[in-house]
Amino acid sequence: MPAPSTERPIRIGYARTSTARQELASQLEALHRAECHQVFKEQISTRVKVRPELEKALALAHQFKEAAPETPVIFTVHELKRLARNAAELTTLSAELQAGGIQLELLTGPLTGFYDPNGMGAMFFAVLAVAGQIERNYIREKTLEGQVIAASKGNHGGRPKVIDDDMLTFALALRTRASPSPRSPRSSPSRSGRTRARPPQPPRSTGRSRKPRPQQWTTARRRDPSRSASAGPGNRSWPKKPISASDSRPSPTRTRRPPLRDHDRSQRQPLHQSNPGTRRHERSR
């Protein structure tokens, strides 16, 4: 990696939260105000030994220091517990940074500023590291204690149950009998809990309403019982007309157009003027 052209210190920032519900905005804003060259962030617990973004930040700081030994390289974090909460891990990280010639900077907390491994700074650093570890263990114990108390009251956490005791008893009874029986949708167990709390819905309509047919359409045609059973539409013995005119649909009658008179013929417009396409038809005829 080429050495930077300026002699200003190079700051590598690191931000971390234990869970995704915690926010990183305050840490990132403080690191950007400190003019960090690059900021690494991740949401992972300090109990996890392998933290990828922390390893990337430390590796980049060592690369800058190897490329420009005369340029000060600073590893910046918002507070001490964001780096680690284990006293042994904090001591190891600080010793690693000191061996590589990289300074450790804390933006908030009792040891705000640059960490001095010599003199009283090392003692305060060790005390704060132990205090951070004690705080972490205390929070974990309180969390477990709260879970035990909630479980004793019947609250085990997680999503609500889909099948209650009554539904389970009903399902076991059906399984024991092994016989089909009408079941109510409110009492039978559902496969999914999404529709369990919904009230019963009315049947859906297709939106189409059929018009009532006339009475003469719905009246069945009478057939002569004396005819053979083999009579049908393909047989000549099948009656083409119903016995009674009231029992069948009235056949449409075609009204014949009266012939045109002489004065009507003179006033009638020729076909080829009203529709040009009919002129070809007349010629073909």
Question: The whole model's pTM is what?
Answer: 0.47
Q: Is the pLDDT of residue 245 over 70?
A: no
Q: Is the pLDDT of residue 87 over 80?
A: no
Tell which residue, 30, 181, 33, 169, has the closest CA to residue 108: 30
**pLDDT tens, 46-75?**
778 788 999 999 999 999 999 988 999 999
Q: What value, to the nearest 5°, has the Cα angle with vertex 26 and ends 24 and 32?
A: 100
Q: Provide the pLDDT confidence category of residue 2 given band limits of 50, 70 and 90.
A: very low
Domains and CATH numbers, the chain: 10-149 (3.40.50.1390)
Q: What is the pLDDT of residue 252?
A: 56
Across the beta sheet with 10-17, what order do the strands follow?
38-43, 10-17, 73-77, 103-106, 113-114
- Average pLDDT score, the chain: 71
**pLDDT tens, 114-166?**
877 666 666 666 776 677 667 777 777 777 778 788 778 777 777 777 788 88
Other residues' Cβ atoms within 10 Å of the Cβ of residue 232: 9
Strand partners, 76: 13, 105
Among 30-34, 62-66, 74-78, 80-84, the minimum mean pLDDT is found in 80-84
Task: Measure the N-to-C terminal CA separation of the chain; round to a whole number of Å.
Answer: 97
Tell which residue, 258, 285, 255, has the closest CA to residue 271: 285
Beta pairing, strands 38-43 & 10-17:
parallel
